[in-house]
Structures are given as structure tokens and as C-alpha cells.
Amino acid sequence: MTALLTILILLGITIAIWQMVKIFDLTQTNRDASQVANDKDNSINGYLMLGFLGFIYLITIISFALWGDLPLVSNSASEHGPEIDRLMIISMAVIFVVQTITQFLLHYFAYKYKGEKGKKALFYADNDKLEFIWTIIPVIVLAGLIMYGLFTWNDIMIIDEEEDPLVIELYAQQFNWKARYAGQDNVLGEANVRLINLDNANILGLDESDPNAQDDIITTELHLPVGRPILFKMRSQDVLHSAYMPHFRAQMNCVPGMITQFAFTPTITTEDMRLNPEIYDKVSNINKIRNEKSIKLQAKGEEPLDRYEFDYLLLCNKICGKSHYNMQMKIIVETEDNYNDWLKEQRLFKNSLVQN
């Protein structure tokens, strides 16, 4: 019944708009029947173009003022992060300048040269010099950005095995993450989904006879030692997922049937990041928002929201099914000592198997 009513109401709104437009239409048509823009239209719309330029600038300023702290261009927590942030800021600056100038020219010309009866436009069809200029300027700017971008990209993607990175597997499945540490030998045991055996809790399909697999450690939380290069090997058991760690400026797809990889060095522990003034402010602001929401929820007799505490996160960023929106894993960056202590508490693969 409510469904029918809603449809009727929507229909009513549509008809109302339709009728209002019709009335508007009827009052207009008689005055100027030609429906081709006349001088008055040109003038009004010319001024509106100028106004629209103002609107574009205004929305730019408002966006930066209100939401300028949202973009992840500072406080990156990985070694390569500041490099990406710098390139991002340079690119944004280039975009900002070009956007400001071209939008000005476009809308200002639209205002300035608004048509008048009897006026004639300038017959001006070509100018090789001008066109050369605005071909060559983008070429130079882009060449610079491409070079910078490619150097940064190679820095990030070419993994230096000699740095002795800590090898960790990120394992994706609908709809959660697991991490597998390589253990003392720092070599991950062979694995394939065909070896998965739920009966003895071999959930990631490790080769039980592989010596390298015996000391592997499977966890549901990702702990990383600060300052040590980490090499992530990604696997997925069912569909595509994407391991997205925004604070580390890191992302790589997890593809069934192949192993993908991404490496970075975390530079700031979770503890230190929580004390960072900008992050602290952000968290307080979020908690303010959550408090307001909690009050509303409590008024309705529902549970209030938990307090938010900052944590690094691993999110799934490739559409993977129904609960894609809630596929996450907590990342904890800590000192080498704390990390080792934590690792010692975890069960080795060989001990985690259930003996039948």
C-alpha cells in the first residue's frame, strides 16, 4: 500500500512540475515566437556565463576551504609516500592554474562577445603560430610530468630483493583478508587453493609437505615492523580483490590463479600516527560527528556508535560481491621489538593444523 502511495506521490510531483513548466511555457511563447535567441537572450545568458565562472571559482574555493583536509597528500606512512604526495601536489598545481585560466577565457569570451543584431564576427580561421604554441606548451609540461611520474613509478614498483624485505602474503577471499608471515626462513611455503583442506584447518591451501611452510604464520591482523621494507605477495582464492592501503599509498589487485606483489617500507608506527596533530584533529572531528549521530540513535532507542580510534586499514577496492563494502583488515605498525613479541605469540602453521 505504501508502495502504491509512494508511486502516486512521485507521479504527483512529476505532474506538478509538468504543469508548472507548462504554465511557464504558455506565459513565454506569446512574447517571442521565433524561439531563436534574440539580443536580450544573448545579453542575459552572457551575464549568466560570467556568473557561472564565478560559481566555478566559488565551488573551488568552498571545496578547498571545507574539504581541503580530506585529500591524502600529507602524513603518508610509507617511505615512497611523500614522493607520490609531492607529485600529486605538483600535478594539482598545474591543473589548478590551467583550470583557472581556461575557464576564465571560455566564460569571459562567452560574456564579452555575446551577440548583437547587426554586429559581425571576425573572420578568423587559422593561425599556425598560435596553434604551434598551444601544442608545444602542453608537450613541455606533460613531458616534465611524465618523466617525474615514471621515475616515481619505477622507484615504487621495482623491488630491490637485496634489501632483504620481510615477505608477507596477503590472502583475499569473499569477504575477508588473511595475512601469512613467512616465518624464520622468510620464505613462504608453496600454496595452491587445490590444497585447501577445511577439515584439518589448512585454510590457505599450503603444501603441508613443504619445509618452508612449516613455520609460516597465518593471522587475521596485519602487524608490520616500522622501518623494515615489506614485500607483499598477494593471492585471492575466489574473485578479484584489491588490497588498498591508502595511508601507505599502496594498492595492488589480488588475482585468482596468479601472485601479484607490492612493496613498501612503513615509516610511522600506529602509536606515533595517533599523536600526529593533524590526525589527532581529524579523529576528534570524526568523533564529534559520531557523537551527534549517537545522540540521534539513542533518542530512537538504538545502540550508540563506538568511539573511533585511528588505525591503518587494508580495504578491498575491487568490486567482489555482496559484502564488498565491509571487507577490511586492521594494520598495526609497531617497533621491531613489539612486532617480534607479537609474532612469537602466534601459532606456526605446523601447529595450527587439526589432527584427525
Partner 1 sequence: MSTHAETHTHEDDHGHHHKETFVTKYIFSQDHKMIAKQYLITGLIMGIIGILMSLLMRMQIAWPEEPNIIFKALLGKWADGGVMDADIYLALVTIHGTIMVFFVLTAGLSGTFSNLLIPLQIGARDMASGFLNMISFWLFFLSSVLMVCSFFVEAGPAAAGWTIYPPLSALPMAQGGSGAGMTLWLVSMAIFIASSLLGSLNYVVTVINLRTKGMSMTRLPLTIWAFFITAVIGVISFPVLLSAALLLIMDRSFGTSFFLSDIFIQGEVLHYQGGSPVLFEHLFWFLGHPEVYIVLLPALGITSEVIATNARKPIFGYRAMVASIIAIAFLSTIVWGHHMFISGMNPFLGSVFTFTTLLIAIPSAVKAFNYITTLWKGNLQMNPAMLFSIGLVSTFITGGLTGIILGDSALDINVHDTYFVVAHFHLVMGISALYGLFAGVYHWFPKMFGRMLNKNLGYVHFWVTAVCAYGVFFPMHFIGMAGLPRRYYTNSNFPLFDDTQDVQVLITVFALVGGLVQLVFLYNFVHSMFYGKKTEQNPWRSNTLEWTAPIEHMHGNWPGKIPHVHRWAYDYSKPGYDDDFVPQNIPLKQGEEELQH
Segment 255-284, which members bind partner 1 (CB under 8 A)?
255-258, 260, 282
Q: How many residues bind partner 1 (CB under 8 A)?
A: 136
CA 224 to CA 329: how far, in whole Å? 13
x-marked contacts with partner 1 along 308-327 as a string, rule CB under 8 A: x----x-xxxxxxxxxxxx-
Residues 204-263 that bind partner 1 (CB under 8 A): 205, 234, 237-240, 242, 244, 246-247, 249-253, 255-258, 260
Tally of residues, the chain: 356
Residues 47-86 that bind partner 1 (CB under 8 A): 48-49, 52, 55-56, 59-60, 63, 67-68, 70-73, 83-84
Of 18 and 280, which has the nearer Cβ to partner 1?
A: 18
Residues 183-202 that bind partner 1 (CB under 8 A): 192-194, 196, 198
CA 44 to CA 270: how far, in whole Å? 57
The burial of 253, by beta-carbon neighbours within 10 Å (0-12 exposed, 13-18 middle, 19 or more buried), is given as middle
Q: Are β-strands 176-181 and 250-254 bridged in parallel, bridged antiparallel, or unpaired?
A: unpaired
Of 262 and 339, which has the nearer Cβ to partner 1?
A: 262
Nearest of 354, 338, 351, 345 to residue 216 by alpha carbon:
351
3 state SS of 58: helix
Residue type, 56: I
Min dist CB 184 to partner 1, Å, is 28
Of 23 and 275, which has the nearer Cβ to partner 1?
A: 23
Of 199 and 337, which has the nearer Cβ to partner 1?
A: 199
Of 288 and 347, which has the nearer Cβ to partner 1?
A: 288
CA 247 to CA 74: how far, in whole Å? 9
CA 196 to CA 205: how far, in whole Å? 4
Q: Are β-strands 230-236 and 166-173 bridged in parallel, bridged antiparallel, or unpaired?
A: parallel
State which of residues 50, 82, 103, 176 lies at the interface with partner 1 (CB under 8 A): 103
Min dist CB 341 to partner 1, Å, is 27
Residue indicated by cell numbers 604526495:
85
| 219 neighbors 349 (Cβ within 8 angstroms) | no
Residues 105-164 that bind partner 1 (CB under 8 A): 105-107, 109-110, 113-116, 119-127, 130-131, 134-135, 138-139, 142, 145-146, 149-150, 152-154, 156-158
